[in-house]
Amino acid sequence: MTEGFETRKLKVLVVEDEAITALVESRLIDSFGYESCGIAANGEDAVLYFSREHPSIVCMDIGLPGRLDGIEAAALMQEASKTSIVFITGYDDPERMGRAKSLDPACLLTKPVSAELLRRGLELAARRVALDN
């Protein structure tokens, strides 16, 4: 649980194309006191899950297969509803990082992400959710 901010079982959507990584993130999210509400492997599925589940937080891989990368999918989600984005990426090129930062994410984590860094990223996202409510 975050200090001073109750997670209230905030719903978290995991968007990650590597199945093992997605499963580990989902289990960690649950162990931190949040509710992992689904896993999507591409941007298109992520937007569909988002519209059904209405998560407060999205853990979003930037490099996704398909028509929408993680940044484009996150932008569509933010247009539809307030959500706090935790970007996770294996890329560090300036163009991609600039695009991600333009969406004002709660944080931007670089792979490989430790459990502790994921927990801290979720705490930042939860604080943002609490401040928006």
> What does each of the 133 residues of the chain score in pLDDT, given as a tens digit?
444 455 568 999 999 999 999 999 999 999 999 999 999 999 999 999 999 999 999 999 999 999 999 999 999 999 999 899 999 999 888 999 999 999 999 999 999 999 999 999 999 999 999 988 7
To 10 degrees, the CA torsion angle through 132, 31, 101, 16? -130
Asked if the bond preceding 112 is cis, omega within 30° of 0, the reply is yes
∠15-96-78 over CA atoms, to 5°?
A: 50
- Sequence spans of domains, the chain: 11-132
To 10 degrees, the CA torsion angle through 76, 29, 16, 71? 30
Token code pair at residue 80: 């539809």
In sign, the C-alpha dihedral spanning 93, 40, 46, 130 is: negative
Cα distance between residue 13 and residue 59, in whole Å: 6
CATH code of domain 11-132: 3.40.50.2300
Show Cβ contacts of residue 8 under 8 Å, excluding neighbours closer than 6 positions: none
Report pTM. 0.92
